[in-house]
Amino acid sequence: MKVIQNICTQSDCYKSGRNIEVKGLMLHSVGCPQPKAQPFINSWNKSGAKACVHAIVEPDGDIYQLLPWNHRGWHGGGDSNNTHIGVEMTEPDTIEYIGGASWREKADGENTKAHVLATYKHAVELFAYLCLKFSLDPTADGVILSHSEGHKRGIASNHGDVEHLWRHFGLSMAQFRKDIKAAMKADKAEVLTRIMGEPMADAEQMRSYILQKNPNVAQSVIDMIPLYISEGEAEGVRGDIAFAQSCLETGNFAFAGSAVTLDQNNFCGMGVTSRGKKGCSFDTPQLGIRAQIQHLKAYASEDALGNECVDSRFRYVTRGCAEYVEWLGQKENPNGKGWATGKGYGSKILNILQDILEIDDKEEVFEPYRVRVSIPNLNIRKGPGTDCAKTGRFTGVGIFTIIEEKEGKGATKWGRLKSRAGWIALDYVTKV
């Protein structure tokens, strides 16, 4: 099972920002002979699209997550939207519909069967993951439902899926619930996040995230972000996980309360083995990131390094003892080993990663810029507009950094000063 985050940020469901308390999971089938997810993603990921499910399953094991799991989707056509995560399965292109939920073969029936059985298997894996994530009992009444079962309960619209396909191949919702229960017991590793692999977030998403969290971040940090991807690729480590870890360890590169400083080029607290210990230092940001990536590889794999080792603490790690992000915390690691002793260390990294992945990398992010003030008495106000109170201070003549823009009364646009002293009218400044 491979979950690919493809959040439909343009859909009305996503933009509404409404959350639900997840009480169950509802399974759907797309209702047309289309084995690929992308056509459905395209139709849901646009303004005005009121419907959107949380995930869609392909027969090859690719599962596309289209909404954050706790977002309210529109999939059941009734109250199930307020309580259940909705998951669609694609359907084989070897069938054709002849009316309602009735269909017939138009090609080799073995291809149809193979598709249905494969999506069933991967749906079991996904539902086991979600049941573990939300502490759901798949065999409890009303927790796992098909769309047709939801209709019978009065919480979904009148659809025949998924049974309209399944019954031809000896599958049932009763067996589906049993298989989910078994999958939860048999292989919990499926719900964990491997450190080794290709990144799911790109450098632009990372850049957007840090500018949102820390508008005053040093330009050197912005410039080095692509190194997480390239250094990660050299060792087979997910660079987006390493970046999320750096955000955690450095307080989003503000270094407030951090045991390390920016000039150390140590973005993961490496070598800080006790309170007050300064930790390792590296000559360049690239070497610091390389050491971090190599240290993650030491925990996650027994494979040889791709680059010469620059991690002075590499030899202290029991190789392969923390294959998953969740196991980087010693308290959660079944072997009692790991990167950090604090509770929930891996979960904290994953929470940051989730926020990064939910960023639309096509969305414009405000970049701070500098302005020149040539008059001595430019008022600083508490908010963006002449209807906001004056602070009683002036900028004076000089160069200032703007970290945010807003429209407001009395000027074409207002800018917030990096010093956070307040807002100034941008009609009276010149960009430099």
What is the SS3 assignment for 165-207?
HHHHHCCCHHHHHHHHHHHHHHCHHHHCCECECCCCCCHHHHH
In contact, 363 and 401? CB cutoff 8 Å: no
In contact, 180 and 124? CB cutoff 8 Å: yes
Cα(39)–Cα(33) distance, integer angstroms: 12
**pLDDT, tens digit (0-9, with 9 covering 90-100), for 39-63:** 999 999 999 999 999 999 999 999 9
Nearest to 415 by CA among 347, 366, 353, 358: 366
For 364, what's the count of Cα atoms within 13 Å in the CB-facing half-sphere?
A: 4
Place of tokens 């190194």: 227
Cα(15)–Cα(200) distance, integer angstroms: 22
Show the low-confidence residues of the chain (pLDDT under 50): 188-190, 362-363
Evaluate whether the domain defined by 2-191 bears CATH number 3.40.80.10: yes
- For residue 315, the SS3 value is helix
Q: pTM surpassing 0.75? A: no
Domain made up of 369-431: CATH architecture = Roll (2.30)
Query: Which numeric CATH code is attached to 203-357?
Result: 1.10.530
Per-residue model confidence (pLDDT) at position 191: 52
In contact, 24 and 145? CB cutoff 8 Å: yes
For residue 413, what is the enclosing H or E element? strand 411-417
- For residue 147, the SS3 value is helix
Per-residue model confidence (pLDDT) at position 275: 66
Per-residue model confidence (pLDDT) at position 276: 61
Per-residue model confidence (pLDDT) at position 360: 66
Nearest to 351 by CA among 54, 64, 55, 69: 69
| Span(s) in the chain for CATH 1.10.530 | 203-357
Per-residue model confidence (pLDDT) at position 364: 55
Cα(133)–Cα(351) distance, integer angstroms: 13
CA distances 138 to 71, 132, 211, 299, Å, are 20, 10, 41, 34
Q: Which residues pair with 431 in a beta bridge?
A: 371
| Span(s) in the chain for CATH 2.30.30 | 369-431
Nearest to 261 by CA among 291, 288, 229: 288
In one-letter notation, the amino acid at residue 31 is G
Residues with Cβ < 8 Å from 318, sequence gap 6 or more? 335, 337
Q: What are phi and psi for residue 269, nearest 5 degrees?
A: 70, 20
- For residue 124, the SS3 value is helix
In contact, 330 and 338? CB cutoff 8 Å: yes
Q: Work out whether the CA dihedral 46, 52, 58, 64 comes out positive or negative.
A: positive
| Span(s) in the chain for CATH 3.40.80.10 | 2-191
Q: Which residues pair with 62 in a beta bridge?
A: 2
Q: Helix and strand tally (H, E) in the chain? A: 11, 15
